[in-house]
Amino acid sequence: MTDTADPKIYLITPPEIDLQGEFPDRLRTVFEAFDIACLRLSLSSSDERVLGKTADLLREVCHTHEVAIVIERHMLLVEPFGLDGVHLSDGAKNVAKARKLLGKDAIVGAYCAASRHAGMNAAEIGADYVSFGPVTVSNLGDGEIAKEDLFEWWSQMIEVPVIAEGRFDQQSAAAIAQHVDFLAFGDEIWSSADPVAELNTMMRAKRPS
């Protein structure tokens, strides 16, 4: 796995995006300021027209900046929309299916809440990464907190990359960063008037003094 002393940044979109609004420009600004590994298209809508229009615009922004883009849940839309893979939100349940459908080169990630067992199952059957969360109080998953010792155990025992997500604050970012390959940020930065400044604050917090 990567050097967990310096985790990479993984971004998650807001659930609602106004394509005529400021989000695409805010995203470009963040991409220009940081080395971003991946963007997850995480919309509340299941309307393929909405997903398609959003994917078309954000895919162009991502690929211009050499950032991978994955879609949450909708594995059947990865190839039609020209995306790099899928993020599954149900643990190991559909990892094998997604791998068979999308092939060996696609990114297949699995959110496993705070469950070691689900994470290990997902890793064993071919997930490219496993994500755990939330790391603080959040409506992600069933609300059970993924604690620092889970990430520490994973980084010591499992080679498959691990992502931490779910409403970071500076304290949780600093504590968990040393044990993970990726820190995933969503509303923590998009709700800020200045996402670049907010992300810079989060990433500064992880650096040892």
Tell me the average pLDDT across 78-95. 97
**pLDDT confidence of 206, banded at 50, 70, 90?**
low
Tell me the average pLDDT across 108-131. 97
Quote the distance between the C-alpha of residue 162 and its chain's center.
Answer: 10
| Contact by Cβ (8 Å): 166, 136 | yes
Work out the angle at residue 135's Cα, subtended by the Cα atoms of residues 206 and 36, and round it to the nearest 5 degrees. 50
Task: Report pLDDT for 16.
Answer: 96
For the question of whether the overall pTM of this predicted structure is more than 0.85, the answer is yes
Tell me the average pLDDT across 177-197. 96
Beta strand spans in the chain (E): 8-12, 36-41, 68-72, 85-88, 107-111, 129-132, 162-164, 182-185
Task: Using DSSP, state whether 106 is helix, strand or coil.
Answer: coil
Determine phi and psi for 130, rounding to 5 degrees: -120, 140
Task: Using DSSP, state whether 53 is helix, strand or coil.
Answer: helix
In the chain the domains, ranked by start, together with CATH numbers, are: 8-205 (3.20.20.70)
Task: Report pLDDT for 167.
Answer: 87
